[in-house]
Chain A
Amino acid sequence: EPEVTQTPSHQVTQMGQEVILRCVPISNHLYFYWYRQILGQKVEFLVSFYNNEISEKSEIFDDQFSVERPDGSNFTLKIRSTKLEDSAMYFCASRAQETQYFGPGTRLLVL
Chain B
Amino acid sequence: EDQVTQSPEALRLQEGESSSLNCSYTVSGLRGLFWYRQDPGKGPEFLFTLYSAGEEKEKERLKATLTKKESFLHITAPKPEDSATYLCAGGDAGNNRKLIWGLGTSLAVNP
By a beta-carbon cutoff of 8 Å, the part of chain A in contact with chain B is 4, 6, 31, 33, 35, 41-45, 48, 50, 55-56, 89, 91, 95, 98-105, 107
CA distance A89 to B41 in the complex (A): 8
Q: What's the A-B contact tally at a CB cutoff of 8 Å?
A: 58
A102-B32 contact given A31-B97, A43-B101, A56-B94, CB 8 Å threshold = no
Q: Which residues of chain A are within 8 angstroms of B49 by Cβ–Cβ distance? A: 98-99
Query: By CB atoms of chain A within 10 A, which of B32, B44, B91 has the most?
Result: B44
CA distance A64 to B13 in the complex (A): 44
Partner of A50, one of B31, B42, B96: B96
Is residue B100 contacting chain A, with contact meaning CB distance below 8 A? yes
- Residue total for B at the interface (Cβ-Cβ under 8 A): 25
Complex: chain A residue closest to B101, CB-CB? A43
Complex: chain B residue closest to A43, CB-CB? B101
Partner of A105, one of B43, B97, B100, B103: B43
A41-B103 contact given A102-B44, A105-B43, CB 8 Å threshold = yes
Query: What's the minimum C-beta distance from A25 to chain B, rounded to whole angstroms?
Result: 13
Q: Majority SS of interface residues in chain B?
A: loop
CA distance A40 to B94 in the complex (A): 28
Query: What's the minimum C-beta distance from B63 to chain A, rounded to whole angstroms?
Result: 18
**Contact in complex: A102, B45 (CB < 8 Å):** yes
Q: Which residues of chain B are within 8 angstroms of A95 by Cβ–Cβ distance? A: 97
Could you write out 7 A-B pairs with CB less than 8 Å apart? Answer: A41-B103, A42-B102, A44-B101, A56-B94, A100-B46, A102-B46, A105-B42
Q: Which residues of chain A are within 8 angstroms of B97 by Cβ–Cβ distance? A: 31, 48, 95, 98, 100
Q: Which residues of chain A are within 8 angstroms of B36 by Cβ–Cβ distance? A: 102
**Contact in complex: A102, B102 (CB < 8 Å):** no
CA distance A50 to B97 in the complex (A): 12
Partner of A104, one of B32, B34, B42: B42
Near A by CB (< 8 A), chain B positions 67-111 give 87, 89, 91, 94-104
